[in-house]
Amino acid sequence: MDNLKIGNYIQNLRKAAKLTQKELAEKLNISFQAVSKWETGESLPDTGILLELCDILNTSVDKLLNGGTIAVSGRKLMHVQDVIDGFQHLEAVGKCFGENCTFYTGMIEGINNKMNIDILEYLADPNYRQVMYAEVIIQWILEGNTVDIDEVETMFENKRMVEMIKRYLEKTEGNE
C-alpha cells in the first residue's frame, strides 16, 4: 500500500465533501491530528473506522486502500440472464419431479424458511420476481463480485431495483 497515495486520496475526498480535517475528525470521534497524519502518508486509518470513513467520504474500502484506484482483479462477473435462468431452473424442478415430490417440496420449504418468504408466490408475481433477481445480484456484489450495470438496465423493468443495484456497485467498486 502506498500511504502517500492513500493520504492524497483521503484529502481530495475530504475537500470534495467540503469538510475540514477537524470536521472529519469530529464525525469519526478522533483527533484532527490523526486525519492530518493520514493525509501526509504518515499513518493509515484504523481498521475500526474504515467503513465509517468510507461512508462519510462516499467511497469504498478497496478504492480507499488503493488510493482511488478501482481494484477489480479477481472479481467475477454475473450475467442477469444467468440469474433469470437459475430461477427458471428452480421452477423446472417442480415440473420435472412433480410438485408433490419430497425433494421439490423440501427445497421450496428450505428456501421459504431461510428467506422468510413464499417463493412460489414471489415467482408468480413479475414485480416480486425482479426483486428476487435484484436480491441475488446484490448478494453477489456483497461477496466482492460484479455485474454489468448496462445489462442490468436493459434486463430490469423495475427501475428502483436498478438504482439499488447501482448503489451497491458504487459502494463496493467505487464507481462514480
Q: What is the pLDDT of residues 31-71, one digit of tens each?
A: 999 999 999 999 999 888 999 999 999 888 888 888 876 55
Reading the block at residue 76, the C-alpha cell is 467475477
73 has pLDDT over 80? no
The position carrying cell 478497496 is 62
Q: Identify the pLDDT of residue 67.
A: 85
Q: Tell me which of 108 and 172 has the higher pLDDT.
A: 108
- Tens of pLDDT, residues 106-158: 999 999 999 899 999 999 999 999 999 999 999 999 888 899 888 999 899 99
Say if CB 62 and CB 71 are below 8 A apart. yes
Could you state, in order of their start, the residue ranges of all structural domains in the chain? 3-65, 77-173
Cα–Cα distance, 172 to 175 (Å, whole number): 8
SS3 78: strand
Ordered alpha helix ranges (H), 17-148:
21-28, 32-39, 50-57, 61-65, 80-97, 102-115, 119-124, 126-142
| Distance (Å, whole) CA 128 – CA 101 | 25
Homologous superfamily of domain range 3-65:
lambda repressor-like DNA-binding domains (1.10.260.40)
pLDDT digits (tens, 9 = 90+) for 88-107: 999 999 999 999 999 999 99
Burial-class residue 143 by CB neighbours within 10 Å (0-12, 13-18, 19+). exposed
